[in-house]
């Protein structure tokens, strides 16, 4: 019984470490998102914003630059939003006591995989599924 209590306490310590990493990453992602997008309360999603330096009367070249900038922001936004979704899902799993369980096979996600990516949703075997 002592071994299982020790293992349980070690697991709780690891969960605390992963939670701290996830919360720090969430904060960073939200800051990065706020630099290029605005949060739409109605949809619950981030929406890319054009560079404010390019707002106002513009010629064709400026319009092309503005469109290109908006497309770049949209691509970055998509990547950041997907990562934030994974981080939020991992934080919810901590609350639900399902953190570290593969979403496909139901087995534990390897510790080294969680170290590399605390928001991992699957074990190594299923990571490309």
DSSP 52: G
Reading the chain (129 residues) residue by residue, the pLDDT tens digits are 333 343 444 555 689 999 999 999 999 999 999 998 999 999 888 888 876 554 556 677 777 777 788 888 889 999 999 999 999 999 999 999 999 999 999 999 999 999 999 999 999 999 987
Q: What's the Cα-to-Cα distance from 21 to each of 4, 64, 91, 118, 119, rounded to whole Å?
A: 26, 40, 10, 7, 9
Torsion-angle region of residue 71: left (phi > 0), alpha (psi -120 to 50) or beta? alpha
Give the model's pLDDT for residue 8. 43
Q: d(Cα 51, Cα 78) in Å, to the nearest integer?
A: 17
The domain locations on the chain are 2-99
DSSP secondary structure, 63-104, as one string:
HHHHHHHHHHHHHHHHHHHHHHHHHHHHHHHHHHT-TTB-TT
Task: Look at residue 27 and give its three-state secondary structure.
Answer: helix
Give the model's pLDDT for residue 51. 66
């Amino acid at each position: 019984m002592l071994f299982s209590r020790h293992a349980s306490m070690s697991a709780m310590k690891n969960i605390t470490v992963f939670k701290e990493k996830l919360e720090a990453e969430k904060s960073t992602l939200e800051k990065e998102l706020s630099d290029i997008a605005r949060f739409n309360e109605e949809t619950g999603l981030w929406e890319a914003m054009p560079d404010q330096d390019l707002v106002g009367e513009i010629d064709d070249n400026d319009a092309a630059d503005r469109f290109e900038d908006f497309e770049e922001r949209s691509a970055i936004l998509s990547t950041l939003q997907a990562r934030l979704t994974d981080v939020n899902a991992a934080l919810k799993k901590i609350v639900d006591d399902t953190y570290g369980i593969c979403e496909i096979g139901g087995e534990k996600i390897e510790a080294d995989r969680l170290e590399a990516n605390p928001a991992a949703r699957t074990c190594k075997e299923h990571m490309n599924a």
